[in-house]
Structure formats: C-alpha cells, structure tokens
Amino acid sequence: MYTYPLSENLEFRSERPNSQPLLVTDWGRVLRFSLNPGQSIREHEAPHSPFFAVVLEGEGMFAGEDGQEQRFGPHELVVFAPGERHTVRALDSKLVFVGFLQAAPGVEPGVLSGEIVRQQQGR
C-alpha cells in the first residue's frame, strides 16, 4: 500500500503549470497538477487511457473535444475518454487537481517511481 498527503508540499511555478508524478508504474500513473490563477494546460490527450481528474482546491475550466469549457471545483470528478483531447484553465485562484491514468506505456513492468515511492523509501 502507498499513501500520500495530496494537499501538502504543493509546488507552483510562475512560468507554467506544475505537473508532479506521484506514482508511475506499468499499471498506472498518478499526477498532481498545480496551476496559478490564469495558467492553462494546452490541448493534449492520453491516447492509451481514460484520464480521471479530481479537483482538490480552487476552480478551473475543463474542456473536452467539443471545446466547451465547464467549471469544476473541489471534490468534483472530471473524466475524459481515452484519446479525448482536453484542456484545463485555472480561474481567479490557484487550482490543484490529481489525475489518474490506467496503464503507462513505456514503463518497464515492476518499476515504481514518483514522489510517493521516494517518500515511502525515505521512512
């Protein structure tokens, strides 16, 4: 079992959104995103997996392939289908969300990495 305090040790960057890999394995990825007000994540896709996003704090505009932005805030879940192009934009406050992907192509089976693994090994 792995655990991690999702609202602690947040990192924000002035030049671009921060994407922090919390756990990377061949069976999935967990990423924490931190955006300053007004920052955005350009259109992209996760071709091999659905992308599940859970907002932890702040509010953001999330858009799928239709380009229609929708506002989501704390404790809300957003799901994009595999290969669905999507964008994210922080509104007037900092936005923090965690993204989950199934499978991670290119990661060697049995290899674990990310902040959660580093923290567990440091105990």
The 10s digit of each residue's pLDDT in 16-57 is 999 999 999 888 999 999 999 999 999 999 888 999 999 999
Distance between terminal CA atoms of the chain? Answer: 14
The 10s digit of each residue's pLDDT in 73-96 is 999 999 999 999 999 999 999 999
122: left (phi over 0), alpha (psi -120 to 50) or beta: alpha
pTM comes to 0.91
Residues with Cβ within 8 Å of residue 121, at least 6 apart in sequence: none
**Which domains does the chain possess?**
28-106 (2.60.120.10)
